Amino acid sequence: MSVDTVVLQDATLTRVGYIDVAIDPAAAGLLAEDFADIDWREPLWTEGDQLRAGAAVWFADIDGQRLAFDPVQAADPVLRSDPDTERSQQTAIAELLVVSGFDRASVDVLVMTHIEGVGMCAWHNDDGSWSPFFPNANVIVSAPALESFLARERVGDLDIEYDAWHALIDQGVVSTYVDGDSVVDGVRAQVTGAHCPGHSILHFGPDAYSPEATMLGHLAISPVHLATGECPLQHPDPATAWSALSAAAEDGRILIGPLWPAPGGGRWMNNEFIATPGA
Ligand SMILES: [Zn+2]
């Protein structure tokens, strides 16, 4: 486990890491040769020919409110595919959050950049039903992302994304934001699409036009995406994804990727990605 903190003017962001692993770069739409020449990639972001990725939860404490973001998203194939171990994984993550000072019950709002699997948005009960993972939190996702999810049919015998999200919706805890909304004061959503319908990035700071930090969602599965250009194998609309990514990177603000391994963030400066925090 690891805990990394970024202190902003009016907010404290904390990454609680469960596990960091090396993954096939194909899972992020890349080949090893795409990042072979990037000299800042080792040791944090790549391991030989593989990318490093993290299963983590980011939190923000802002003006007495606690937000969580994209909890352990996109890790279902590893953490939730085996019914025999799935519940012990969610219990282990819940316990990790307690010892890290981020008890599930302390979260007021769960903010999603998009819907991709279940992650730790929902708790799988022993009887097979689903409850909110964060029992006191409202879940918010962009209106077009929710619309896209609601338009799809249940697929196959085991469609946990479908079952879990419909359970949350039926329990009345899911609401939506639109492009430009402040999800809370100091956190502005920009609906970028490009990765999937309604995908969003989140800007932190009191000045909406000059954010201190931006959470990039899945526009960059790894920081190496900041240097590898358009990624058509990852995004249906690679030009729009690259344009949003470049715009967020160019002024040296803190960039955060929910799937990045510890420390989970950094700044793009002088054509190099400088990890922060820890620094
Ligand atoms: Zn995604």
Ligand 1 centre to CA of 73 (Å) is: 8
Instruction: Give 115 Cα–ligand 1 centroid separation in angstroms.
Output: 7
Q: How far is the CA of 219 from the centre of ligand 1 (A)?
A: 8
Q: What is the 3-state secondary structure (H, E, C) of the chain?
A: CEEEEEECCCEEEEEEEEEEEEECHHHHCCCHHHHCCCCCCCCCCEECCEEEEEEEEEEEEECCEEEEECCCCCCHHHHCCCHHHHHHHHHHHHHHHHHCCCCHHHCCEEECCCCCCCCCCEEECCCCCEEECCCCCEEEEEHHHHHHHHCCCCCCCCCHHHHHHHHHHHCCCEEEECCCCEEECCEEEEECCCCCCCCEEEEECCCCCCCCEEECCCCCCCCCHHHHCCCCCCCCCHHHHHHHHHHHHCCCCEEECCCCCCCCEEEEECCEEEECCCC
Range of the domain at 247: 2-275
What pLDDT is stored for residue 207 in this prediction? 85
- C-alpha 267 – ligand 1 centre gap (Å): 22
How far apart are the CA of 137 and the centre of ligand 1, in A?
22
pLDDT digits (tens, 9 = 90+) for 95-123: 999 999 999 999 999 999 999 999 999 99
* Amino acid 190: pLDDT: 97
Distance 53 CA to ligand 1 centre (A): 13
Share of the chain above pLDDT 90, in %: 94
What's the gap in Å between 246 CA and the centre of ligand 1?
Answer: 18
Question: Cα(116) to centroid of ligand 1, in Å?
Answer: 5
pLDDT tens digit string along 166-199?
Answer: 999 999 999 999 999 999 999 999 999 999 999 9
Q: State the average pLDDT over residues 126-148.
A: 97
Separation of CA 245 and ligand 1 centre (Å): 15
- Angle, vertex CA 178, rays to CA 27 and CA 160, nearest 5: 45
153 burial via Cβ count (<10 Å: 0-12, 13-18, 19+): exposed
pTM across the whole model: 0.96
Mean pLDDT estimate for the chain: 96
Cβ count within 10 A of residue 142 = 27
- In the reported structure, the alpha carbon of residue 218 is separated from the centroid of ligand 1 by a whole-number distance in angstroms of 5
**Mean pLDDT on 216-245:** 96
> In this prediction, what percent of the chain has a pLDDT beyond 70?
99
For residue range 60-94, list pLDDT tens digits in order: 999 999 999 999 999 999 899 988 899 999 999 99
68 C-alpha to ligand 1 centroid (Å):
17
Q: Residue for token digits 């739409």?
A: 29
pLDDT at 279 over 70: no
Task: Tell me what the mean pLDDT of segment 137-149 comes to.
Answer: 98
Q: What is the pLDDT of residue 278?
A: 52
Residue 148 CA to ligand 1 centre (angstroms): 14
CA of 201 to the centre of ligand 1 (A): 12
Strand-strand pairing, 187-191 and 200-204: antiparallel
CA angle 3/168/117 to nearest 5° reads 60
Ligand 1 center from residue 241 Cα (angstroms): 12
Cα–Cα distances in Å, from 19 out to 46, 78, 82? 15, 11, 17
78 Cα–ligand 1 center, Å:
15
The yes-or-no verdict on residue 56 having pLDDT over 70 is: yes
pLDDT confidence of residue 275: 96
Which token pair is 143?
Answer: 């209106």
pLDDT, mean of residues 53-57: 97
Number of domains in the chain: 1
Mean pLDDT of 209-227: 96
CATH number of the domain at 205, please: 3.60.15.10
Ligand 1 centroid – CA 36 distance (Å): 24
Could you read off the pLDDT of 229-243 as tens digits, one per residue?
A: 999 999 999 999 999
* Per-residue confidence (pLDDT) for residue 208, from 0 to 100: 75
Q: How far is the CA of 251 from the centre of ligand 1 (A)?
A: 25
pLDDT at 83: 84
